């Protein structure tokens, strides 16, 4: 391909040199150099056509070379496949030899199995009598099973009736348990009977949950001035926080001598009811479920002069 290009280039160079080597006067009175100009234009056209032809030939040569490369690749692939096929044939021949040996062994095994089959046929014939006896026993067993199934149906009906009674009893037990919880909550909020007494000239200052009292002297008129203050509010508890605390304070300068509480709107219990050091009364409660309730805390106070 390169040689063909060099030959065409040399040919074009020689033709161009012969045309422009001897400039002179024009032919038959024409302008000087006009015929040579026409020839040069023709030569240019020929050079272009020659270049196109050379390019076409070069493209064809490239295509042939590419096809040759592809054929070489196919040949290499076929050679590789042939080698692999030869290896597979060799492997298959080995397998065939192995299978032939296995077939011989299987023939021997079949002969042995035929002998065993004959012995088994003799044993089967001997067992047929036993099977007949077992069939009769099975029929008797089926009859017994049918009778037992009838008994099971009867027992299941009785169990269903018992389940209904049990469900009713469980519902009644649940209702009683709810009533017991309500009664227990009410009992825990109940004030114990007052058992303590105060001597003449004194009055009750504080009543405890167990019924005991604390006494204090009365004034000259025999009366102790008491002021009652209360603090009411809606308390909401969640499943994570059920314990609440509510405080009620006396007026500035007064002192607390007693206190109490009132719970409305739900179940719960009071864990503690006691005075606090800064002149007030504290109620601490615990509720057994989440929800809103109204807790009222009372503080019984006397003036500083009392």
pLDDT of residue 27: 46
Question: Between residues 303 and 93, which one has the greater pLDDT?
Answer: 93
Task: Return d(Cα 278, Cα 292) in angstroms, integer.
Answer: 29
Question: 157 or 27, which is more confident?
Answer: 157
CA distance 246 to 229: 13
| Predicted local confidence at residue 159, as pLDDT | 92
Q: Is the pLDDT assigned to residue 109 strictly greater than 70?
A: yes
Residue 38 has pLDDT above 90, yes or no: no
Residue reference for tokens 């500083």: 304
Q: Between these two residues, 168 and 221, which has the higher pLDDT value?
A: 168
Q: What is the CATH number of domain 186-302?
A: 2.60.40
Query: pLDDT (tens digit, 9 = 90+) per residue, 43-52?
Result: 989 989 898 8
Supply the DSSP string of 124-169, one letter for each residue.
HHHHHHHHHHHHHHHHHHHHHHHHHHHHHHHHHHHHHHHHHHHHHH
What is the sign, positive or negative, of the torsion defined by CA atoms of 103, 104, 110, 112? Answer: negative
Residue with tokens 């088994």: 120
| Domain range list for the chain | 1-17+35-114, 186-302
Q: What percent of the chain has pLDDT over 90?
A: 22
Is 57's pLDDT higher than 50?
yes
> Does the pLDDT value for residue 21 go beyond 60?
no
What secondary structure letter does DSSP report for 288?
S
Task: Tell me if 280 sits within 8 A of 299, measured CB to CB.
Answer: yes
Higher pLDDT, 7 or 155: 155
User: How many Cα atoms sit within 13 Å of 171 on the Cβ side?
Assistant: 6
286 pLDDT higher than 90: no
Q: Which two tokens stand for residue 283?
A: 């109620």
Q: Is the sign of the CA dihedral 16, 19, 24, 28 positive or negative? A: negative
State the pLDDT at residue 247: 85
- Confidence label for 78 from pLDDT (cuts 50, 70 and 90): very high
pLDDT band at 75 (very low <50, low <70, confident <90, very high): very high
CA 107, CA 90: separation in Å to the nearest integer? 26
- The confidence score (pLDDT) of residue 147 equals 92
Rounded to an integer, the average pLDDT of 128-142 is: 89
Mean pLDDT of 35-43: 84
| Whole-number Å distance between alpha carbons of 244 and 261 | 13
CA count, 13 A, side-chain hemisphere, 107: 6
Query: Is the pLDDT at 145 greater than 90, yes or no?
Result: yes
Buried b / exposed e along 252-264 (16+ C-beta atoms within 10 A): eebebbbbbbebe
- In this prediction, residue 233 carries a pLDDT of 60
Q: Is the pLDDT of residue 214 over 90?
A: no
Residue 205, pLDDT > 60, answer yes
């Amino acid at each position: 391909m390169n040689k063909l290009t060099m030959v065409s280039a040399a040919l074009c160079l020689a033709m161009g040199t012969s045309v422009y080597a001897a400039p002179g006067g024009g032919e038959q009175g024409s302008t000087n150099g006009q015929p040579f100009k026409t020839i040069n234009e023709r030569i240019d056209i020929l050079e272009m056509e020659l270049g196109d032809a050379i390019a076409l030939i070069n493209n064809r040569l490239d295509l042939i070379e590419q096809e040759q490369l592809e054929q070489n690749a196919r040949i290499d692939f076929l050679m590789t496949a042939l080698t692999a096929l030869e290896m597979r044939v060799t492997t298959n021949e080995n397998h065939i030899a192995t299978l032939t040996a296995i077939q011989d062994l299987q023939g021997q095994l079949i002969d042995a199995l035929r002998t065993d089959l004959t012995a088994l046929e003799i044993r089967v014939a001997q067992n047929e009598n036993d099977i007949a006896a077992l069939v009769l026993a099975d029929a008797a067993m089926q009859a017994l099973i049918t009778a037992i199934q009838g008994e099971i149906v009867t027992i299941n009906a009785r169990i269903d009736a018992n389940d209904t009674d049990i469900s009713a009893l469980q519902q009644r037990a649940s209702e009683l348990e709810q009533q017991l919880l309500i009664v227990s909550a009410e009992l825990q909020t109940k004030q114990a009977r007052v058992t303590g007494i105060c001597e003449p000239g004194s009055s009750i200052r504080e009543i405890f949950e167990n019924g005991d009292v604390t006494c204090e002297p009365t004034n000259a008129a025999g009366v102790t001035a008491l002021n009652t203050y209360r603090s009411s509010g809606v308390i909401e508890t969640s499943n994570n926080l059920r314990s609440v605390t509510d405080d009620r304070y006396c007026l500035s300068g007064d002192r607390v001598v007693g206190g109490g509480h009132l719970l409305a709107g739900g179940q719960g219990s009071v864990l503690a009811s006691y005075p606090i050091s800064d002149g007030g009364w504290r109620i601490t409660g615990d509720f057994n479920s989440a929800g809103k309730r109204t807790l009222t805390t009372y503080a019984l106070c006397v003036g500083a002069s009392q």
